[in-house]
Chain A
Amino acid sequence: MKTTRRMFAAAVVGALVLTACGDAPEEETPDAVEEPEATDEETEGDPAEEEPTEEPAEQTDFRGCLVTDQGGVDDQSFNQTAWEGMVRAEQELGITADVLESTSEADFEPNIQEFVTQGCDLIVTVGFLLGEATEAAAQANPDQNFAIVDYAYDADYDNLRELVFGTEEAAFLAGYAAAGTTESGIVGTYGGINIPPVTVFMDGFLAGVRYYNQENGTDVQVEGWDGSDGLFTGNFESQDDGRNFTDQLLQAGADIIMPVAGPVGLGTAAAIEDFGSGMIVWVDTDGYESTQYGALMLTSVMKNMDVAVFDSVQAAVDGNWEGGLVVGTLENEGVGLAPFHDFEDTVPQEVRDALDGLRQGIISGEISVDPADYS
């Protein structure tokens, strides 16, 4: 009894000392850690203070809802990029944005169902693996609009928009740049799961390297993907797996590695940091901005899912909604290559000069991005 009271007193005094007696409503306290005792006592003991929560801003009553794949909304990669599109729509269009994170495949169906029940205006599902669950939900709820990232269905639905990307085009450029920059003559890649939206990165990368070899008479090797099979962690979550796979690639002599596995790629960054040398080609977003490993990022294959998601929300808000396939390409800037940032001087000038021509060649169709077209 005595002790508890003493502890409470200590907590109150602690709060008194640490809390700035400021009166400006927007002042931030750095001492949030010290508050819990106080909050705890008061919130529990004071039900009289209950008040209904209210949203302050003037907003459209449009509600955009997003279901992530495994890996979560803060994966600094795949899911996060899609969510940023939703957040932008919240800021610019005044919609309400909500998210449900899937922790396993078992969550897909109930998460989508939860949003259907709650009455969202648009439900965006992020990732190939949600394909079946999204299609089933779209069929069962013909009046509910859906958009899915990375899945193209055989049949088109009026209430389902398929946001897919010609990622191989941007990955081709990354492969070319990597091949022109590598010192060991070996570059590496690995994927999360052997599904088209992942392997398309690796195909483009491989094609870019092979194209570089063909043009320059070099023999840069790609470890981890041969056009049909390669290294796959089997998940989009385990950074430990990313570390192990990267160690394997580093042992094989690779000095530039492209992980295509969302947050798993952070394991690659950690492994390269430990190893002391090596560069990363990040995917989905500009890794220089989105991760804390900017110093390791040669470049990034950007897949602008945020733009695609934002556009979908905007179309729904404006009443221009259309179902069916929407493809992001180099031409419409749905995909692209990020700047080299810190490695601007590491990448040879002639390689950087060549990229613009390649981009034009890919857009016009003169340059194939299929690795099978190169030996």
Chain B
Amino acid sequence: MTDRHEDDPAGDPAESGPVALSEAEVARQEIEAAKEREAAITHLEPGAGFGKRFVAAVTGTSVLVTILSFVAAIVIGGVIIALTEPAVREAFGYFFARPGDAFREAWDVVSAAYVALFRGSLGGRAQISETLVSATPLILTGLAVAVPLRAGLFNIGAEGQLIAGGMLAGLVGFSVTGLPLVVHLPLAAAAGIAGGWVYGWLPGVLKARTGAHEVISTIMLNNIARLVTAWMISTTLFRRPDRSDPISKSVEASAQFPRFVDGLRVNTSLLMALGLAVFVFWLVERSTRGFELNAVGLNARAARAAGMDPDRTVIRAMATGGALAGAAGAALILGLQHRLTIGFSAGLGFDGITVALLGRGRIGGTVAAGLLFGALRAGGRSMQAQTGTSLDLVLVIQALIIVFIAAPGLVRAIFRVKADDLATGQVAKGWGS
């Protein structure tokens, strides 16, 4: 890590006091304060090693809030399941005649749903495979949001970046032929990553050079990606010759992520996702670039005063996020769907926002959140098939988790956790950054 601010001349000591500090002095104080804040959250010395950090992260209070949020969401989800079940409502109609009925009905239906949810996500090889399949793109789009988040940027554009990446990966996947797998697959995946990179770089540049707010520009770019895709898939460049509806040619076998086991859908794109996650962890938490990223996220003006270039960091952060979303698109198209259709992105870019928030913008946390949401998705399918509880309940639970995380005070009130036990670290910076 660089300590460039130490080289800067200190402010005029004669004119101490809040009014007359030089910019460099402000910067130094800001960074010191940020380090202290970090230490206060993790209860660690700033220079603590990985082992200590890991233990702190797992036992730390921000994890506690996350877990409690999850518990609260599950409980409310249970109430919703119970209330949507006619038998339960019926039993509540004669509650005072036989209260046991009502609670037994409610318990039966809720436990059946959650047991199905759990078994459907972790109950066997096929279920674990489906969990990992669902988690792979979520991990990547989660990181695509998390990395810019660390620089204080809210990347709503993972959806569009995923689409851009998937389109390019697909195009290389079916239009290039005759290459062996070891060449073709990396080429197609790289094309996807590059597509996402460009599509993330664009709002970064707009933000850095013209001040266009990244939230607005990425939302608009999502729409552009979606609609342009709808048109492109129906052109002869993409469309399958024997179909009149918008569906693209199939990706060559040499550009498909091979599966680990025949019959299970989990495939090697998971390795790409995890590899990228490790790389991003190094990039954000260990590298000089990452230090700049975090510094800009904490206070862009202080970072500038300390000799960093916030504009360039903003562009880098958005482009990196875009590249990760592009990788998610490549994982979807080359690993799973093997062809492009309208709406192939299935809202995974937007789910990435939830994943990143649940992961609190941390790399490890985001990966864990991606796995959790993957499990909820896979399990939700089983739940709907077995108990008839709508898959939408999973979305409700996901939304509730985020509501609770965004309002730690609420969790504190419900579970009576003391204020100073809770991490107060901001999850996302506000609108005006």
Q: Give residues in A with beta carbon < 8 Å to B.
A: 1, 4, 15-16, 19-29, 32, 35-36, 39-40, 42-44, 46, 49-51, 53, 65, 70, 98-101, 103-107, 109-111, 113-115, 117-118, 129, 193-196, 199, 234-235
Contact = CB atoms under 8 A, between A and B. Distances in A.
B341 interface: yes
16 contacts: A22-B97, A25-B94, A28-B93, A39-B79, A51-B107, A53-B112, A70-B343, A98-B386, A100-B385, A100-B391, A104-B346, A105-B344, A118-B385, A193-B245, A193-B246, A196-B244
Contacts of A19: 92-93, 95-96
Interface of B: 75-76, 78-79, 82-83, 88-90, 92-98, 100, 102-104, 106-112, 120, 126, 130, 133, 230, 234, 243-246, 265, 332, 336-337, 341-344, 346-347, 378, 381-382, 384-386, 388, 390-391, 413, 416
Nearest to B414: A4
Given A104-B343, A193-B246, A195-B245, A35 B90 contact: no
Given A114-B385, A194-B234, 6 more contacts: A22-B94, A23-B98, A32-B83, A43-B78, A50-B107, A53-B109
A234 B230 contact: yes
B244 A39 contact: no
Contacts of A106: 332, 336-337, 344, 346
Given A39-B82, A49-B107, A1 B416 contact: yes
Given A40-B75, A234-B342, A98 B94 contact: no
B343 A105 contact: yes
Contacts of A129: 245
A21 B106 CA distance: 19
A71 to B, nearest CB: 12
Contacts, number: 148
Given A36-B79, A44-B78, A65-B385, A109 B265 contact: yes
Contact of A235 (B82, B97, B343): B343
A65 to B, nearest CB: 7
A114 B332 CA distance: 19
Contacts of B102: 39
B103 A23 contact: no
Nearest to B250: A132
A40 B245 CA distance: 48
A194 B382 CA distance: 32
A66 B111 CA distance: 24
A27 B103 contact: no
A35 B111 CA distance: 18
B269 to A, nearest CB: 14
A22 B93 contact: yes
Contacts of A70: 343
A24 B94 contact: yes
Contact of B89 (A23, A32, A103, A235): A32
B90 A43 contact: no
B336 A28 contact: no
A144 B347 CA distance: 32
Contacts of B75: 40, 44
Contacts of A22: 93-94, 97
Given A36-B79, A195-B244, A42 B230 contact: no
A23 B332 CA distance: 55
A29 B106 contact: no
Contacts of B83: 32, 35-36, 39
B19 to A, nearest CB: 43
Given A28-B89, A110-B130, A114-B382, A194 B244 contact: yes
A100 B384 CA distance: 6
A234 B265 CA distance: 28
B94 A49 contact: no
Nearest to B244: A194
A187 to B, nearest CB: 23
Given A35-B83, A43-B78, A110 B381 contact: yes
A179 to B, nearest CB: 26
A235 B342 CA distance: 8
Contacts of B95: 15, 19, 21
Contacts of A53: 108-109, 112
Contacts of B388: 98-99
A228 to B, nearest CB: 9
Given A39-B79, A43-B82, A44-B75, A118 B94 contact: no
B336 to A, nearest CB: 7
A234 B226 CA distance: 11
Contacts of A20: 93-94
A273 B294 CA distance: 53
Given A15-B95, A106-B332, A43 B103 contact: yes
A194 B233 CA distance: 13
A105 B341 contact: yes
A117 B264 CA distance: 12
B92 A32 contact: yes
Q: Which one of B76, B111, B332 has the greatest number of beta carbons of chain A within 10 Å?
A: B111
Nearest to B102: A39
Contacts of B343: 70, 104-105, 235
A128 B364 CA distance: 41
A28 B96 contact: no
Contacts of A65: 385
A195 B390 CA distance: 29
A80 B106 CA distance: 28
Contacts of A51: 104, 107-108
B76 A118 contact: no
A35 B59 CA distance: 35
A219 B347 CA distance: 45
B391 A43 contact: no
A39 B107 CA distance: 9
B90 A98 contact: no
A118 B386 contact: yes
A282 B108 CA distance: 41
Nearest to B263: A140
B265 A110 contact: yes
Contacts of B110: 43
A35 B108 CA distance: 17
